[in-house]
Amino acid sequence: MISLIIQYPEILIALFCFFFTCFLTRNGLPGNWPILGMLPSLLIHVHRLHHRCVDLMKQSNCTFLFKGPWFANMDYLITVDPANIQYVMSTNFTNYPKGEEFLNIFEFLGDGIFNSDGDLWKFQRKITQSLINHRKFFRFLVKVTYDKVQKGLVPILQDAYKDGLVIDLQDVFQRLTFDTTCLLVSGHNPGCLSLDFPDVPFSKALDDAEEAVAYRHVLPENFWEFQKWLGLGQAAKLSQAWKVLDHFIDKIISKKRDELSLNVEKEEEEEGIDLLTSFLNQSVETTAFNTKNGKFLRDTILNLMLAGRDTTSSALTWFIWLITQNPQVEEKVRNELKQTLNKNNNNNNNKWHVFQIEEINKLTYLHATLCECLRLYPPVPFQHKSPINSDTLPSGHNVTPKNKIIFTLYAMGRMKGIWGQDCLEFKPERWITEQGKIKYEAPYKFLSFNAGPRSCLGKDVALTQLKMVGATLIHNYKFKVVDGGENAEPDLSVILHMKHGLKVNVINRWSSNNNNNST
């Protein structure tokens, strides 16, 4: 054997590579190598990063210090400890801003609400909150969502049903939420939710930017800058996507300015009003900020587009997938919908129906099902913070300004110490009290809508859309997952997209009624 190895040294090299790879890919805690730190293990597991974080959190009592290479600023404290999250997000909030590092990684978002800190963040949050909470905007939200479901989503599903087509629901939902978000944010209807499935450069660019940013988290900064200098890899993909995003948003803003300058009226009192019109009409101007400023509008619109399109479409995709995998939950949701229609004296109990806002407000089990979906498959699977000053977290871990703190929401939903022994089960009942009411869970445990001063402004908007769309789909259609979709996996991105999409056959529950174009 020894003579064979001497004669053929490539055998020894192959054996070494085999055992070295096996060592790196084991599911235990990663080794801390000289010079390279734990980077080799991270790169080996990057294709299954979400699951790797689950492994690490289980084996490290919910908090783990990842040591990066000595030549790169890549030391991460990864935690899902609710006490740590409450401390960072609320108790000592001022010591944990987004910071320069976050701004550099998410630079394509500019100075929007996701990136900004201090007075700029407070200003944007205050004005955005006032506009989102206005009755005109809520009225517009309800109308846009209802119209897009009835005139956009339903025709696509009907076409797929009649022709026996396989469709990708993830793509359909992204088109739906892109159209609705464009309308809500800018009043512009891109019309991408249509039977001919037109190309949507903006959506593709946003997907590319999100994927690139995810990789930027795990690549050394020097390597990223080298890619950028060469115009290659993920850095080049981000640069190209950035240009497409800017071009699209510039066109929207220019078009809106022209409309307002010509006093184009859109029956605002009856139909509501979009956010861009509100920003331009309100014209808030101080010594530091101006809502009519081009960069302010660009950054604000892009941040709101990202929030509205991606988080809602991600939630809808995983919601439908979970429903297909849990028929007992699907039946309970349908029974609640039937009871609601009966209570409202609606004769469409056993007929095709698009749900209105007043019909979804008290759907307890549907609400619980959506919360359970968000617990297991949070649309934003990671959060990223850095301290200004050195600090000690409740878990006893010390952090410095050189550390990055990562909350992994995907792993948090899979911790027995947080959610109990049945944490891996899809169980909406965990969200319902003995009295049949929605059970409150602290945001530091259920972080899908953020926590503390940065709690999500669009929570009610998202839940309204999810319920209106979800109720209509479950009442009228049944979906059969195909092409191995029962083993769906999350993709690597800053948004929890489903790898390979969600391919389904569509079944119309009321096909014999031939009543698919009216409520």
DSSP states of 183-239 as a string?
Answer: HHHHS-----SSTT----HHHHHHHHHHHHHHHHHHS-HHHHHHHHHHT-HHHHHHH
Q: What is the pTM of this model?
A: 0.86
| Residue 27: per-residue pLDDT | 58
Selected residue with higher pLDDT from 345 and 421: 421
Longest distance between any two alpha carbons in the chain, whole Å: 89
Of the listed ranges 22-31, 216-225, 340-349, the least confidently predicted one is 22-31
Q: What is the dihedral of CA 457, 463, 464, 468, to 10 degrees?
A: 160
pLDDT by residue (tens digit) across 428-476? 999 999 999 999 999 999 999 999 999 999 899 999 999 999 999 999 9
SS3 content of the chain, % helix, strand, coil (to 5): 60, 10, 35
Cβ neighbours of residue 114 closer than 8 Å, sequence gap 6 or more: 98, 106, 303, 306, 307
Strands 404-408 and 76-79: parallel
Q: Is 186 a residue whose pLDDT tops 50?
A: yes
Lowest-confidence region among 12-16, 109-113, 137-141, 222-226 = 12-16
Distance CA 286, CA 290 (A): 6
pLDDT at 2 over 80: no
Contact 80, 412 (CB under 8 A): yes
> What angle in degrees, to the nearest 10, is found between the helix axes of 364-376 and 312-325?
100
Mean pLDDT throughout 51-59?
Answer: 92
Q: Any idea what DSSP says for residue 138?
A: H
Cβ 152 vs Cβ 488: under 8 Å: no
As a whole number of angstroms, the distance between CA 44 and CA 27 comes to 11
Indicate the residue type of 448. Answer: S
Tokens representing 10? 């490539």
Least confident range from 25-39, 121-135, 303-317, 352-366: namely: 25-39
136 token code pair? 């005109």
**Fold of the domain built from segment(s) 31-513:** Cytochrome p450 (1.10.630)
Strands (E), 344-482: 382-385, 391-392, 398-399, 404-408, 477-481
* Residues 363, 367, 372: CA angle, nearest 5 degrees: 150
53-67, 157-171, 265-279, 293-307 — which is least confidently predicted?
Answer: 265-279
Q: Where are the domains of the chain?
A: 1-29, 31-513
pLDDT band of residue 178 (cuts 50, 70, 90) is: very high
The pLDDT score that the predictor gives to residue 159 is 95
Please give the C-alpha separations between residue 140 and each of 33, 95, 181, 407, in angstroms, as whole numbers. 56, 38, 11, 34
Instruction: Please tell me what DSSP assigns to residue 30.
Output: P
- Token pair belonging to 399: 């952090």
Phi/psi at 165 (nearest 5 deg)?
Answer: -85, 150
Provide, rounded to the nearest whole percent, the portion of the chain with pLDDT above 70.
Answer: 88
Torsion of CA 149, 154, 160, 166, to 10 degrees: 20
Torsion, CA 31, CA 35, CA 39, CA 40, rounded to 10: -70
| Mean pLDDT for the stretch of residues 239-259 | 91
Residue 235 has pLDDT above 80, yes or no: yes
Instruction: Check pLDDT > 70 for residue 183.
Output: yes
Q: Which residues pair with 399 in a beta bridge?
A: 391
Read off the pLDDT of residues 309-366 as tens digits, 9 standing for 90 and up. Answer: 889 999 999 999 999 999 999 999 999 999 998 877 655 566 889 999 889 988 999 9
Q: What's the full length of the chain, in residues?
A: 519
Compute the average pLDDT of residues 231-244.
Answer: 90
- Residues whose CB is less than 8 angstroms from the CB of residue 510 and which lie 6 or more positions away in sequence, other chains included: 350, 351, 352, 476, 516
Which one has a higher pLDDT value, 71 or 292? 71
